[in-house]
Amino acid sequence: MTLRILLGAVLTIYSSPVANAGFLSTNSDPYFAAGNWTPTTNGGDGSGTITADAMTLVSNNANGAYKYVRYSITIPANIETLSFSYQWSTTDANASLDVPSYIIGSTTTFICGLDVRSCTGTVTNLDLSSQVGQQFIFDQNSLTGAGGRATLVISEVNGVIYRAPAPATVYVRQTSNLTFAQSLYGSDSLSDPDGQLRKTVDQIMNKYGSLIK
């Protein structure tokens, strides 16, 4: 709370807390929405959750080494870029045993350095245009399955996919060499919204059509 003095009066200003940004950026293609990611694990007692607010991966801390928790999605056609924000921390005495990463196909990239116990940041504009059909994976591994857990939180995912605009409807009307009937029937729904003009034309043509050229 901040107090300011203005002409002898006390003005009280309250600062509002910043709202959770959410798992999916407001600018993102909906293909990357929370419900489209697939969870996988190869054992252990790690866990993963994904909601409208964030994706959270918690590492294994029992039942063996080299156990992971992952969320994956297939890289779609016409993908351009992918960006995301992350927060990570570990209680393991040896932080390098629980390093988080993202995986594209068979290529793994560490999100944080090997010698830190926490990190926060963003990865922006990953060019995935040449990786269509591959899996994009968020991965929280545990190399020993002991010593403490690590937690990776992903939010503000922003996937950019090129979407071709729907083709515009084009109306073409013949403007020369029309017969009388063609001229009359050329009216469309915009000029004859209730169909009365067409009904009248039908009556005229039925009665006098043989006389009209």
pLDDT tens digits for range 37-85: 999 999 999 999 999 999 999 999 987 889 999 999 999 999 999 999 9
pLDDT at residue 182, as a whole number: 57
pLDDT at residue 80, as a whole number: 96
Strand order in the sheet with 118-127: 47-50, 55-58, 150-161, 79-90, 118-127
Give residue limits of the domains in the chain: 30-161, 180-211
pLDDT at residue 4, as a whole number: 39
3-state helix, strand, coil in the chain (%, to 5): 15, 40, 45
Count the alpha carbons within 13 Å of 61 in the hemisphere toward its beta carbon. 14
pLDDT in tens, 14-24: 333 333 469 99
pLDDT at residue 193, as a whole number: 65
Q: State the DSSP code for 75.
A: P
pLDDT at residue 50, as a whole number: 97
More confident residue, 7 or 151: 151
pLDDT at residue 12, as a whole number: 31
Averaged over 4-31, what is the pLDDT? Answer: 58
pLDDT at residue 112, as a whole number: 93
DSSP structure string for 96-111: GGG-EEEEETTEEEES
30-161 adopts what CATH topology?
Jelly Rolls (2.60.120)
More confident residue, 105 or 212: 105
Q: State the DSSP code for 192.
A: -
- Name the pTM for this structure: 0.69
CA distance 17 to 5: 24
